[in-house]
Amino acid sequence: MKAYMVFDIGGTYIKYAVMDETTKKLKNGRLMTPKDGLETFLKALQGIVEQYSDDFDFQGIAVSSPGSVDVKTGFIGGASAIPYIHGVNMAGLIKERTGLQTSIENDANCAALAEGWLGAAKGTDYYICIVIGTGIGGSIVLNQSILRGASLHGGEFGYMIMGAPFQEPLQATWSLVASTNALVEEVTKRSSLGEEKLDGEEVFRLAEEGDLIAQECFAEFYKRLAIGIYNLKYALDPQKILIGGGISKRQDVIDGINRELKGLRNDISTLAIEVEACQFGNDANLIGALFHFLKDKERFEE
């Protein structure tokens, strides 16, 4: 049976799935991401491919990875929680180990491509996906292709400076002031909890239970997100703006951002700006990686 081996490389786990062209998962699982180097990592991926090779006729390998991925060369630049994957031709090394054509794409880009293929942006020519988590990242998608930029930094929305420009501007980037991590740190600090740092679930629970400090921090959080989204809308003018990351599963977050966006309209700024949640959760990177491989299939066959 024809199928594709798809890997989603994360700092803690490598998720994998044997998928057909419709994204149906025929087999799937996960393993801990090796900590002791590239050789162990490559052996782990090779072992998974070999485990299923007797049952499936693999047409290739699709990989979702952190870092600044050069999809043409297979090299991963930048930095991540997995240092050994950077600075090497990862696609070439995996192909060498398995004998299978291999494509590789950045994880945030994979999530965005999944949404355009089968998710919330299906049928949309031009959209952006904003991923909110420890920091803020994302992707710009035009005609099912990622707009990468001259330095492969297209979609790195978190670097936008949001604070007063003459007061340590790099301490006021969008990632530092409006990420989920920033929200948790702000509630922790204002709650005078000292070293006892809260987590995201506790922060939401506090706000839902009527904690005034948490509610105030959430109001500021939505406003900071809305200001960044407003800037992106006027700079890029996409047809759709999608919100990804774990926080996007909460309808109250989407509603809070949209409420603030509505308040930014006036006689001059007349655009009706609205966000919606990404449709895919944990499978987004796998689906997007497969789409990227299928889209590049002709290049492999040249």
CA pair distance 226, 139, nearest whole angstrom: 17
Q: If you average pLDDT over every residue of the chain, what do you get?
A: 93
CB atoms within 10 A of CB 187: 26
- Residue 9: domain span: 2-105+282-300
- Identify residue 61 by its one-letter amino acid code: I
pLDDT score recorded for residue 168: 80
Tens of pLDDT, residue by residue over 3-62, are 999 999 999 999 999 999 999 999 999 999 999 999 999 999 999 999 999 999 999 999
**Confidence grade of residue 281 (pLDDT, cut at 50, 70, 90):** confident
Residues 236 and 251 in one domain: yes
Structure tokens at 266: 């006036």
CA pair distance 16, 36, nearest whole angstrom: 20
Q: How many domains does the chain have?
A: 2
Residues 126 and 245 in one domain: yes
Residues 223 and 295 in one domain: no
Residues 238 and 194 in one domain: yes
Does 172 fall in a domain?
A: yes
Q: Note whether 203 and 230 are within 8 A (CB).
A: no
Which residue's structure tokens are 């490389």? 9
Tens of pLDDT, residue by residue over 172-206, are 899 999 999 999 999 998 987 655 678 888 999 99
CA pair distance 175, 163, nearest whole angstrom: 12
Tens of pLDDT, residue by residue over 211-220, are 999 999 999 9
Residues 38 and 176 in one domain: no
Tens of pLDDT, residue by residue over 55-92, are 999 999 999 999 989 999 999 998 888 999 999 999 99
Does 230 fall in a domain?
A: yes
Residues 45 and 150 in one domain: no
CA dihedral over 299, 108, 70, 174, signed as positive or negative: positive
**Confidence grade of residue 165 (pLDDT, cut at 50, 70, 90):** low
Q: Which residues pair with 276 in a beta bridge?
A: 242
Structure tokens at 25: 């998962």
Q: pTM value?
A: 0.88
Strands 68-69 and 76-77: antiparallel
Residues 126 and 248 in one domain: yes
CA pair distance 208, 211, nearest whole angstrom: 7
Residues 143 and 176 in one domain: yes
CATH code (residue 242): 3.30.420.40
